[in-house]
Amino acid sequence: MSAAYDDSEVIAVCALRLEARAFMAVMDQANWDRNAQAAGRLGELSGDINVYSTGRIGSHNVVLAHMPNIGKVPASITASHLRRSFRNIRLVLLVGICGGVPGELNNIMLGDVVVAKEVIEYDDGARIDGRFENVDDLEDGLGGQSLGLRGFIRDLEAGAHILTENTSQHLASTLARLDSPITDGLVDNLYRSDYWHIHQNPRSCAARQCQNNRGMCVEASRASCEEVGCDRSGLVRQSRRKRRPDIHFGPIASGDMVLRSGAERDRIARRGGAIAFDMEAAGLWNYLPCITVKGVCDYADSHKNKRWQNYAALTAAACAIAIVEAW
């Protein structure tokens, strides 16, 4: 078994357990190697500390690398071990969840999928006189992709209707097979970027922080919109889950910070054109032939929560499987 997968050309990488579970769920379970212990030790002879699962997508032997943690540094470490253990890598898919940038041009909604055409490292900079300044121009994305891989992404974008249809089929069959309440009660609430997730009644804030426009208190950050009293006056739109996710192609902004501000999201997006935010892409992009595929689970604003994470992970996984099939 090990010899076959040592020659694998297609690698998937997931940072969170829920992302890895989603990727494995979308694939037919019969396609995953039952010898989990052997798969986990796949790269140990080369000193590789990564943990792996192995399976097949069509004619491709596929290795799933489980990252030890979120962030750019763990992603870079994972990448270094992948390069050592798998000498024939042609395609790496970073698969998981992200924060989306809503806008009139892209109309990104929760559950949609973002495929990165470039990666912008937005937290690479210095703090000067109390303010953070980027070292590089955000309009200049990271390098890393070969001309062949860029051409493949352009072909995917040109045939986006086919990719969307295949993604929807994988997603529908997975949801039917899982028969779980993963999609129950999902509502897409998009608030104005200047409408903060704070105690709307100042007397409800024990820290007396929310009442003075000083941002979100710790209690509010852990509470739902219903619990802090966010109301319809701050909504841009409210909608139920779409029957099929749309797929968007564009730049992804990547950094080690959990972004939770609609205003900051919009500021960074305006400078670099990003349509989504994640925490791992910058750690893989420069080192491996990588396509980042992320499902939108929140809007990277103060209202972000975990309700859409499992579903968004499934939509990203379904799209990633469809991409491998097109490879």
Q: How confident is the model at residue 44 (pLDDT cuts 50, 70, 90)?
A: low
Residue 90 has pLDDT above 80, yes or no: yes
Residues 26, 144: one domain?
yes
Residue 197 has pLDDT above 90, yes or no: no
Residue 145 has pLDDT above 60, yes or no: yes
Residue 270 has pLDDT above 50, yes or no: yes
Residue 272 has pLDDT above 50, yes or no: yes
Residues 240, 200: one domain?
no
Q: What is the CATH number of the domain that holds 22?
A: 3.40.50.1580
Residue 182 has pLDDT above 60, yes or no: yes
pLDDT at 104: 76
Residues 63, 208: one domain?
no
Q: Which two tokens stand for residue 77?
A: 């470490």
Instruction: Show which of 205, 229, 253 is a domain's final residue.
Output: 229
Q: Is there a contact between 80 and 46 (Cβ–Cβ < 8 Å)? A: no
pLDDT at 65: 94
Residues 154, 287: one domain?
yes
Residues 178, 77: one domain?
yes
Q: Which two tokens stand for residue 251?
A: 């730049």
Q: How confident is the model at residue 241 (pLDDT cuts 50, 70, 90)?
A: confident
Residue 300 has pLDDT above 90, yes or no: yes
Residues 141, 203: one domain?
no
pLDDT at 295: 99
CA distances from 166 to 171, 209, 226, 241 (A): 9, 48, 36, 19
Residue 276 has pLDDT above 90, yes or no: yes
Instruction: State phi, psi for 316 to the nearest 5 degrees.
Output: -65, -45
pLDDT at 130: 40
In angstroms, how far is CA 179 from the centroid of its own chain? 24
Residues 89, 109: one domain?
yes
Geometric angle at alpha carbon 281, from 277 and 285, rounded to 5°: 140
Residue 12 has pLDDT above 50, yes or no: yes
**Residue with the two structure tokens 């994640």:** 278
Residues 119, 170: one domain?
yes
Residues 111, 201: one domain?
no
Residues 300, 322: one domain?
yes
% of residues, the chain, pLDDT over 90: 52
Q: How confident is the model at residue 128 (pLDDT cuts 50, 70, 90)?
A: very low
Residue 135 has pLDDT above 70, yes or no: no
Q: Is there a contact between 79 and 263 (Cβ–Cβ < 8 Å)? A: no
pLDDT at 25: 92
pLDDT at 15: 97
Residue 129 has pLDDT above 50, yes or no: no
pLDDT at 154: 96
Greater confidence (298 vs 207) lies with 298
Residues 184, 267: one domain?
yes
- Model confidence, pTM: 0.89
Stretch 125-132: mean pLDDT: 40
Residues 13, 73: one domain?
yes
Instruction: Show which of 170, 205, 229 is a domain's final residue.
Output: 229
pLDDT at 190: 92
Question: Which H or E run includes 66?
Answer: strand 60-66
> Mean pLDDT in the chain?
85
How many structural domains compose the chain?
A: 2
Greater confidence (131 vs 151) lies with 151
Region of residue 130 (phi > 0: left; psi between -120 and 50: alpha; otherwise: beta): left
pLDDT at 274: 96
Greater confidence (236 vs 97) lies with 97
Q: Which of 111-120, 188-197, 268-277, 289-298 has the lowest mean pLDDT?
A: 188-197
Residue 42 has pLDDT above 80, yes or no: no
Provide the domain limits for residue 80.
2-188+236-326
